[in-house]
Amino acid sequence: MAKKLYKGNEAVAEAAIQAGCRYFFGYPITPQNEIPEYMARRMPKVGGTFLQAESEVAAINMVYGAGGSGARVMTSSSSPGVSLKQEGISYIAGAEVPCVIVNMVRGGPGLGSIQPAQSDYFQATKGGGHGDYHLVVYAPGGIQEAVDLTMKAFDTADLYRMPVMILGDGMIGQMMEPAEIPEDYQPIVTDKSWATTGGGRRVINSLYIQPDELERVNLRLQKKYALIKEKETMYDEYLTEDAELIFAAYGTTARICQSAINMLRADGVKAGLIRPITLWPFPDAPFAAAAARDGVKKFLTVEMSCGQMIEDVKLSVGGRKEVAFYGRTGGMIPMPRDVYHYALSVMR
């Protein structure tokens, strides 16, 4: 199939449909409105269901019900709406219901701005809602990757029976790029005999009133998370072999860093990039390996936030090298030239 020009939000929506998603529950919020709007047009044509919920709270609980009934189901929102979904996400994680949640992040806190940001990293990767749980969090760096990761997200969700998040930002959602959405995608088939489809005695539930029982459930979840860390961690490296300065950035910011790296290299500064693709599980191995190399002098984390992923970078680097930070926040986007100048000052 040939490449077509897609807006990020629409590409994510179509990728979900091609991955077998037939239920979508959402609520309008900028900058992700093209997802529910696309689903409203497309779902009836593929025999699926689009329903505009009365709130993000309701939407995520509809997802719980549909996912608990075994369907491939998705919801999408942006930061303030994703905050509202946290209760439901915690229940979904606890009840081990597969589903996909898209967050096209905008500036916060509060109502914030409608411009792109990466300030929901903590919320996405450190739990977000209450309790001992994780989501797999994919951070696409472009539209094609958004397509590929969205399709993969449904498989990951089914495979591990858990919620999976696509953490984009307003830029990924709004920009247009050529991408190919495979139409012959074969979803993995998992046993869903646990799903409530009538005629059984199955229970979708996250309540374990006996603490020893809940502890056992939590320890089992931790085992699952350890397996995911081993099997599902994804990252990309750019010009890191001889690099003295290693950038850490994901999503939109990683693209900006690549431009800055090219400018630095033209000036003879050996810079490279480690780009986490899964934010949880965080790819600590490449950072630890780079930190152990003599040639590596420093790390520089670049984010559209006041510094959130940098905590995971520092943990991975383990104090062996300095980790500097450059960030813009509130919906401001760092320019390659600014990153370049900041990198020069760090290396001076």
Partner 1 sequence: MAVVFKKTSMLTDVPLHYCPGCTHGIIHRLVAESIEELGAADKAIGVAPVGCAVFAYNYFNCDMQEAAHGRAPAVATGIKRVNRDCVVFTYQGDGDLASIGTAEIVHAAARGENITVIFVNNGIYGMTGGQMAPTTLPGQVTTTSPYGRDTSHCGYPIGISELLSTLKAPSFIERVSVHDVKNVVNAKRAIKEAFRRQIDGKGFSLVEVLSTCPTNWGMNPLDALKWLEANMIPYYPLGNYKDRDKEAASK
Which stretches of the chain bind partner 1, using CB under 8 A? 23, 25, 49, 51, 53-55, 57-59, 61-71, 73, 87-88, 91, 95, 196-207
Q: Measured from the CB of residue 124, what is the shortest distance to partner 1 in angstroms? A: 20
Cα separation of 135 and 137, whole Å? Answer: 6
To partner 1, the closest distance from the beta carbon of 66 in angstroms equals 4
Q: How far is the CB of 47 from partner 1 (least distance, A)?
A: 12
C-alpha 94 chain-centroid distance: 19
Give the shortest CB-44-to-partner 1 separation in angstroms. 13
Shortest Å, Cβ 77 to partner 1: 15
In the complex with partner 1, the residue whose CB is nearer, 91 or 225, is 91
Nearest distance, CB of residue 28 and partner 1, angstroms:
15
Cβ distance 278 to 239 under 8 Å?
no
Nearer to partner 1, 82 or 105 (CB): 82
Per-residue 3-state assignment (H helix, E strand, C coil) for 95-110: HCCCEEEEEEEECCCC
Q: How far apart are CA 13 and CA 19, in angstroms?
A: 10
Determine if the peptide bond prior to 281 is cis (ω within 30°).
Answer: yes
Report the DSSP beta bridge partners of residue 167.
103
Q: How many CB atoms lie within 10 A of CB 51?
A: 17
Q: Are residues 83 and 123 in contact, defined by beta-carbon separation less than 8 angstroms?
A: yes
What is the nearest approach in angstroms of partner 1 to the Cβ of residue 149? 24
Q: Are 153 and 22 in contact (CB under 8 A)?
A: no
- Paired tokens of 48: 């699926």
User: Of 204 and 332, which CB lies nearer to partner 1 in the complex structure?
Assistant: 204
Residue whose CB is less far from partner 1, 49 or 262: 49
* Residue among 237, 241, 255 at smallest CA distance from 302: 255
Q: How far is CA 223 from the centre of its chain?
A: 21
Contact assessment for residue 101 and residue 135, using Cβ atoms and an 8 Å cutoff = yes
CB nearer partner 1, residue 166 or residue 195: 195
Assigned token pair, 27: 């609520």
Q: Minimal distance in Å, beta carbon 334 to partner 1?
A: 39
The whole-angstrom separation of Cα 191 and Cα 189 is: 7
Give the nearer residue to partner 1 in terms of CB position, either 198 or 319: 198
CB of 89 to partner 1, least distance (A): 11
Closer to partner 1 by Cβ: residue 129 or 272: 129
Nearer to partner 1, 205 or 222 (CB): 205
Q: How far apart are CA 231 and CA 152, in angstroms?
A: 13
Given the complex with partner 1, which of 81 and 107 has the nearer CB atom?
81
For every residue of 163-189, which 3-state class applies, written as one string? EEEEEEEHHHHHCEEEECCCCCCCCCC
